[in-house]
Amino acid sequence: MDDNKSEVPLTGITVKKEEDFSEWYTELLNKAELADIRYNVKGFIVYREWATITIRKMFKKTEDLLEKKGHLPLTMPSLIPESNFLLEAQHVEGFAPEVFWVTEAGSSGKLPERLALRPTSETALYKMYALWLRSYKDLPFKRYLSCQVWRYEGKMTRPFFRGREFHWIESHNVFATMEDAMKQVKEDMDSTYQILQDECCIPIIFFQRPEWDKFAGAVHTYAADALMGSGKVLQLPSTHLLGQNFAKPFQVKFVDNDGEEKYAYQTCYGPAQSRNYGAMIAYLGDDKGLVLPFDLAPVQIVIVPIFFKGKEKLVLDKASEVFKQLEEKYVVKIDDRDESVGSKFYYWELRGVPIRIEIGPKDIQKKQFVVVKRHDGQKFIIKETELVKRIDEIAQNYTNEIKKKSLVDFESQIELVYEKDSAIQAINNGKIVACGFCSIDFDGEKCAEVVEKEIGAFVRGKRVDEEKHEFANCLICGKPAGCTVYIARAY
Ligand SMILES: [Zn+2]
């Protein structure tokens, strides 16, 4: 290596992702400086700069998409009076164990009413919707918030995957009919594919969740699961058909075109950006560190000048010339720190910068550069005159190349299973199991408990994009199968 320093390059991640996913993830977060868990409130972490930049880009992409589909932004208070909460019984029952309460303020002491730090905003917004909505002409009414929510999680927290505070978008929509509401649920699923599969390169499957696992207060919940490299699935955005379950207690009504006053139909959708980020870095990352889609990388191209004694100026001048050619289109950085070339390579590979351009005196003499792609390590020697054109090509294909690899990986993780023993084996091998199941209504809950106890996994639900089902019997009770379900370990 052309390098005037003799120090040994810093090592990347010391644990192989395949061998110990959990340890690998922790090292990735620490070494790439993505999160700091030392903040002194349990379950609350600091998102560092590199993570924050990408998460903001993810927010922006989701917000733009929602606005394109007719949603407008709103900003809501983060405190919700307890009386709002008590209006919808199932909702309060579902969320009560996780709510942070504000009970005191200033020197006057106890507040007359407890205030919840919003765990989700239905009960804040729908009070306002009841005041705003009057007529069928106001519908559909589609709004969204970009905000933080707080939930006192009992499960083990893990940076970005699960914490007591997370950062999300929630959209809350009102319609005149159940059909329109269901159309919105489908639109939300499409949006999720657009963001997660197309932009973040995370393959997902949408499931209708079983009755015992739906959002508190919903008619039905549809949730995306991503399979992490560890053989466990992670729940990503979910969209909920609320029907009139909230409209009635919150008095969200409208006068229809027949002159009659009716309760509205509602949906809500909650893409958690911080969790999507966690899923993306966990799924795409490798033993060298982060792999990021081109658009979402905080720095897209890094130029590493390779210095030789006496040639520093020549190399730096060429580096700035290349920088100027690329900076209008891309986020480019010249790494001119006083570090060895090897450790600079590790540094940027760890942080997932998609393209590296190496510039040394010999390259300058030959009028060419070495260019390396992060996600597959492919190396090119590119003529100076063709640099911009070739970089454009590499940049344009970069995200698609990652996506192609991701999608192939995913289907190979699913195994069709006809007996409990083979289900246990498949789950132990880190697979998702597809099998026959009696029912995802409450009738099937007992069988789901058996799945948890004896197979050590969870019934994720009925796949939304799958019409046919090929199993004759329920894997557990042997009764005629009412549907095909997917079973997996989960975070
Ligand atoms: Zn059964």
At 10 the pLDDT is 53
Which residues fall within 8 angstroms of residue 20, CB to CB, at 6 or more apart? none
**450: CA distance to ligand 1 center in Å?**
9
Residue 113 structure tokens: 């009413």
Residue 146 has pLDDT above 90, yes or no: yes
By the CB criterion, residues less than 5 angstroms from ion ligand 1 are: 438, 447, 474, 476-477
pLDDT at 406: 84
- Confidence band, pLDDT 50/70/90 cuts, at residue 434: very high
> Has residue 405 been placed in a domain?
no
Q: Is 0.85 surpassed by the pTM of this model?
A: yes
Please check whether residues 278 and 304 belong to one and the same domain.
Answer: no
**For residue 124, what pLDDT is reported?**
96
- pLDDT at residue 114 tops 80: yes
The domain that holds 202 is classified in CATH as 3.30.930.10
In a domain, 232, yes or no: yes
Measure 480 CA to ligand 1 centroid, in angstroms: 8
CA of 438 to the centre of ligand 1 (A): 4
Q: For position 428, which CATH number holds? A: 3.30.110.30
In a domain, 158, yes or no: yes
Q: Are residues 268 and 331 in the same domain?
A: no
Ligand 1 centroid to residue 444 C-alpha, Å: 6
Q: Provide the 3-class DSSP secondary structure of residue 433.
A: strand
| Strand 204-208 versus strand 253-255 pairing type | unpaired
Q: In this structure, are 121 and 225 located in the same domain? A: yes
Nearest to 72 by CA among 118, 137, 140: 140
**Per-residue tokens: 390:** 């070739």
Give the tens place of pLDDT for each residue, 382-414.
999 999 999 999 999 999 999 998 877 777 889
Same domain for 103 and 157?
A: yes
Separation of 45 CA from ligand 1 center, angstroms? Answer: 41
309 and 270 together in one domain:
no
Number of domains in the chain: 3
- As a whole number, mean pLDDT of residues 289-313 equals 94
Answer yes or no: do 68 and 121 share one domain: yes
How many angstroms is it from 407 CA to the middle of ligand 1?
Answer: 31
Say how many Å lie between the CA of residue 418 and the centre of ligand 1: 13
Which helix or strand (DSSP H or E) is residue 23 part of?
helix 21-31
Answer yes or no: are the C-beta atoms of 357 and 371 closer than 8 Å.
yes
Q: If you measure from the C-alpha of residue 473 to the centroid of ligand 1, how many angstroms do you get, rounded to a whole number?
A: 8
Which of 284, 318, 349 is where one domain is finished? 284
Residue 289's pLDDT is what? 96
Ligand 1 geometric centre to CA of 209 (Å): 16
One domain for residues 45 and 148 = yes
Residues 214 and 272 in one domain: yes
CA of 440 to the centre of ligand 1 (A): 9
List, as one string, the DSSP characters of 228-284: -TTSEEEEEEEEEEEETTTHHHHT-EEE-TTS-EEE-EEEEE--BHHHHHHHHHHHH
Residue 99 sits in the same domain as residue 149: yes
For residue 392, what are the domain limits?
Answer: 299-396
Residue 165 inside a domain? The answer is yes
CATH code, domain carrying 343: 3.40.50.800
In angstroms, what is the span from residue 340 Cα to ligand 1's centroid?
62
The answer to whether residues 370 and 436 belong to one domain is no
Q: Are residues 280 and 303 in the same domain?
A: no
Q: Looking at the structure, do residues 143 and 280 belong to the same domain, yes or no?
A: yes
